[in-house]
Amino acid sequence: MFGKRVTLFRLFGFEVRLDASWLIIAVLVTWSLAAGVFPYLYPGLPRETYWIMAVVGALGLFISIVVHEFSHSLVARRFGMPMKGITLFIFGGVAEMGDEPPTARAEFLMAIAGPVTSLAIAGLFFLIYRLGGQLGWQAPVNAVIYYIASINGILAAFNLMPAFPLDGGRMLRAILWGYKDDLRWATRISATVGAAFALGLMFVGILQFIGGNLIGGMWLVLIGMFLRNAAQTSYQQLLVRKALEGEPVRRFMVSDPITVPPQLTVRQLVEDYILIQQHRMYPVMEGNNLVGLVSTRQVREVPREVWDQRTVRDVLLPVSPANSIPPTMDAVQALAKMNQSGFTRLLVVENGRLMGLLTLKDLLDFFALKVELSS
């Protein structure tokens, strides 16, 4: 879903990350507020004032989305759900879960926490706006306060739409899940509703585009495309989890992986292994001892002109919980670790010994076979 991300800060143990695509929405929001919304609603102010109001308003939107997602994360933590952090991207923000909610009740409470928080912020800032009007605060100040109240109301209303994976769609899934005690069925129905809602949004966007509202129409089409893809992806992810659930890593691992010695030069690694074997990661063995792993990530960090001087030992990653798993681990947990760490290949280690290698491809091949047999 995301591209290049930058970690901004940590709060209550959660990382808040900024995807590069967020810059697009930040620029669009600031420009539209400075050049359109505020001059239309509050004419006659200096141009510089509009831009200051726009920057503060965009910052208010940023903080509002962070608080909205934090509310999800805090409730998720209360129910023991692993959270990977919060990422802001072009279509808003998302609290990234490492697994499905344990119960329908947990799902519902986690989902509703976001809209309730946004409504509370909207109500608070609307009261401040009314107070400012009575006390005679300057128009620019009250304008920004009113904008923050309005945008939080819109944020809550949009997220309450019963379109999975929006908060309203997750609430719908929780209700269906609780009614039939079947998460797969509930997810399929919610994802179908979400996809239908997304298509409707795209249709409205096309009509607006034809009617002359080019930017608004294009934006609705893009949001619709994103929601449709997210709904379909969420259902597919659940199917993968269900197919792998209860299966130990030992069943899927390659028990005799290709290894490399630490004294190998980086050039030899590239020319004799990576380009020939076409694997992106290799365990590093010194005799019978596992000393780490080396991948194309580490190779990219070495300037080509020193490939003959640098060895695998110079660039390898030591074995750590982030890149290794025991053979008894559940395959679903291994898949979650791959998703969290970004590694598509994990070392399978037991008592310090290399037992094998687990690849994402092997897990997905098994899932594809299960789907084919059940169809």
Highest mean pLDDT among 74-78, 122-126, 222-226: 122-126
Six-digit token string for 159 = 């997220």
User: Residue 351 in contact with residue 241, Cβ under 8 Å?
Assistant: no
Summary count for the chain: helices (H), strands (E): 14, 9
Q: Say what the pLDDT of residue 91 is.
A: 57
The predicted model gives 121-147 an average pLDDT of 91
* Sequence ranges of the domains in the chain: 5-244, 249-374
From residue 117, give the alpha-carbon distance in Å to each of 110, 128, 130, 341: 11, 17, 20, 30
Q: Is the pLDDT of residue 173 over 80?
A: yes
% of residues, the chain, pLDDT over 70: 92
What lies within 8 Å, CB to CB, of 274 at 6+ separation is 280, 296, 299
Distance between CA 52 and CA 154 in Å, rounded? 22
**Cα gap 235→263, rounded to integer Å:** 46
Confidence (pTM): 0.70
The pLDDT, as a whole number, for residue 147 is 92
What residues have CB less than 8 Å from 117, skipping those under 6 apart?
67, 68, 71
Confidence of residue 252 (pLDDT cuts 50, 70, 90): confident
Q: How confident is the model at residue 98 (pLDDT cuts 50, 70, 90)?
A: low
| Confidence band, pLDDT 50/70/90 cuts, at residue 99 | low
274 or 19: which leads in pLDDT: 274
Q: Among candidates 203, 199, 246, which has minimal Cα distance to 225?
A: 199
Integer Cα distance of 340 and 353 in angstroms: 24
- Percent of the chain past pLDDT 90, that is, above it, reads 25
Instruction: Output the pLDDT for position 93.
Output: 64
- pLDDT greater at residue 36 or residue 143: 143
Do the beta carbons of residue 195 and residue 231 sit within 8 Å?
yes
Which residues are registered as beta bridge partners of 83?
97
Identity at 333, one-letter amino acid code: Q
CA–CA dist 267, 282 (Å, integer): 15
Give me the pLDDT at residue 123, please.
Answer: 96
Average pLDDT for residues 75-104, to the nearest whole number? 72
DSSP code at position 250: G
pLDDT band with cut points at 50, 70 and 90 for residue 371: low
Phi, psi of 166 (to 5 degrees): -65, 165
Query: Mean pLDDT over residues 149-162, rounded?
Result: 91
Q: Is pLDDT above 70 for 94?
A: no
- Please report which confidence band the pLDDT of residue 5 belongs to, taking 50, 70 and 90 as the band edges: low
In this predicted structure, the answer to whether residue 1 has a pLDDT above a threshold of 50 is no
The CATH H-level (homologous superfamily) assignment of domain 249-374 is CBS-domain (3.10.580.10)
* Cβ neighbours of residue 145 closer than 8 Å, sequence gap 6 or more: 125, 128, 129, 132
Q: State residue 2's pLDDT score.
A: 46
| pLDDT score of 362 | 79
Q: Which two tokens stand for residue 268?
A: 């030899």
Residue 278 has pLDDT above 60, yes or no: yes
**Cα–Cα distance measured from residue 146 to residue 356, given in angstroms and rounded to the nearest whole number:** 59
Average pLDDT in the chain: 84
> Is residue 194 over pLDDT 80?
yes
CA distance 138 to 199: 43
Mean pLDDT calculated for residue range 314-338: 85
User: Which residue from 313, 319, 320 is spatially nearest to 269, judged by alpha carbons?
Assistant: 313
Q: Which of 227, 236, 257, 287 is nearest to 355 (CA)?
A: 257
What pLDDT shows up at residue 372?
63
Q: What is the pLDDT of residue 343?
A: 78
Residue 264 in tokens:
């190998």
Q: Are strands 83-89 and 14-19 parallel, antiparallel or unpaired?
A: parallel
- Secondary structure in 3-state letters for 299-354: HHCCCHHHCCCCEHHHHCECCCCCCEECCCCEHHHHHHHHHHHCCCEEEEEECCEE
DSSP 8-state secondary structure symbol assigned to residue 245: T
Report pLDDT for 172. Answer: 92
Which two three-digit tokens encode residue 239?
A: 């199917």
> Is residue 186's pLDDT more than 60?
yes
Of the pLDDT bands very low, low, confident and very high (cuts 50, 70, 90), residue 127 is very high
- The answer on pLDDT for 198 being more than 70 is yes
Q: How confident is the model over 178-204, as a mean pLDDT?
A: 88
Angstrom distance (rounded) from CA 293 to CA 320: 10
Model confidence pLDDT, tens digit, residues 45-57 = 899 999 999 999 9
pLDDT band at residue 4 using 50, 70 and 90 as cut-offs: low
Q: Closest Cα to residue 374, out of 153, 173, 184?
A: 184
Task: Specify the DSSP element, H or E, that contains 359.
Answer: strand 353-359
Confidence class of residue 118 from pLDDT cuts 50, 70 and 90? very high
Alpha-carbon radius of gyration of the chain: 25
